[in-house]
């Protein structure tokens, strides 16, 4: 047995199991798994992966934390809106958005028009556990992380609920979550094609 065989066994199949009609846009709070799940999902579907936060940093030439500190959240949201709008014009891919992106009505409308939104919904304890691993979360530096996350959940979860699809983010293996996302997108796509066929 060669050393590469175990890795080869987890590679994506030669043919993707789903060909999305539109870009899959992952939304949810920080720590929900948008980037880690997005990368795995893109690999499984043989699609490019884009991280909106990374693209914003690249366009601005500085980190999101620096953008917040220098220009404030309002300026950051304007840049975020422009970058996501540009990304949604690209060919079909998997797009991970920042936690606040879907709160912007214009961004939400563009996502609805050009993509399939998937809310990765996670509980408070899981979000605290995951976000505690990284120190580059500007919003969590504005007070007690639990209180900040509780406030964000109360504010954002009702809006995230308008996403096309909701998938629970849990402590299980990431691959199982990817499977749930693929199944949900496949079901939605089949339902949309069925309703178009009846029209």
Q: What is the 3-state secondary structure (H, E, C) of the chain?
A: CCCCHHHHHCCCCCCCCCCCCCEEEEECCCCCCHHHHHHHHHHHHCCCEEEHHHHHHHHHCCCHHHHHHHHCHHHHHHHHHHHHHHHCCCCCCEEECCCCHHHCHHHHHHHHHHEEEEEEECCHHHHHHHHCCCCCCHHHHCCCHHHHHHHHHHHHHHHHCCCCEEEECCCCCHHHHHHHHHHHHHHHHHHHHHHHHHC
CB-CB contact of 17 with 184 (8 Å): no
The distance in angstroms from the start CA to the end CA of the chain is 55
Q: How many CB atoms lie within 10 A of CB 172?
A: 10
Mean pLDDT in consecutive groups of 10 residues from the start of the chain, 199 residues: 46 70 96 95 97 94 90 90 96 96 96 98 92 61 81 96 96 94 95 74
pLDDT value of position 141: 60
Whether residue 170 lies inside any domain: the answer is: yes
Q: How many domains, in total, are found in the chain?
A: 1
Whether residue 8 lies inside any domain: the answer is: no
Whether residue 14 lies inside any domain: the answer is: no
Whether residue 121 lies inside any domain: the answer is: yes
Q: Provide the CATH number for the domain around residue 155.
A: 3.40.50.300
pLDDT value of position 5: 45
pLDDT value of position 11: 55
Whether residue 146 lies inside any domain: the answer is: yes
Q: How many CB atoms lie within 10 A of CB 3?
A: 6
- Domain of residue 147: give its range: 20-194
88: its two tokens: 């949604």
Global confidence as pTM: 0.86
Whether residue 9 lies inside any domain: the answer is: no
pLDDT value of position 4: 46
Whether residue 117 lies inside any domain: the answer is: yes
Beta strand 49-51 with 94-96 is: parallel
pLDDT value of position 65: 84
CB-CB contact of 30 with 140 (8 Å): yes
Whether residue 15 lies inside any domain: the answer is: no
């Amino acid at each position: 047995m060669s050393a590469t065989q175990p890795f080869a066994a987890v590679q994506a199949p030669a043919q993707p199991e789903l060909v999305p009609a539109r870009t899959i846009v992952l939304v949810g709070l920080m720590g929900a798994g948008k980037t880690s799940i997005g990368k795995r999902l893109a690999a499984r579907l043989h699609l490019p992966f884009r991280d909106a936060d990374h693209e914003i940093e690249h366009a601005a030439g500085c980190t999101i934390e620096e953008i917040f500190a220098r220009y404030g959240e309002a300026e950051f949201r304007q840049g975020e809106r422009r970058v996501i709008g540009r990304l949604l014009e690209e060919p079909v891919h998997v797009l991970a958005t920042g936690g606040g992106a879907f709160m912007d009505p214009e961004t939400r409308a563009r996502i609805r028009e050009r993509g399939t939104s998937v809310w990765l919904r996670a509980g408070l304890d899981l979000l605290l556990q995951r976000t505690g691993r990284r120190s580059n979360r500007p919003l969590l530096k504005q007070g007690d992380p639990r209180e900040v996350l509780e406030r964000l959940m109360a504010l954002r979860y009702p809006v995230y609920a308008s996403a096309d699809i909701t998938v629970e983010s849990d402590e299980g293996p990431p691959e199982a979550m990817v499977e749930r996302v693929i199944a949900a997108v496949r079901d939605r796509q089949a339902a949309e094609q069925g309703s178009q066929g009846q029209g």
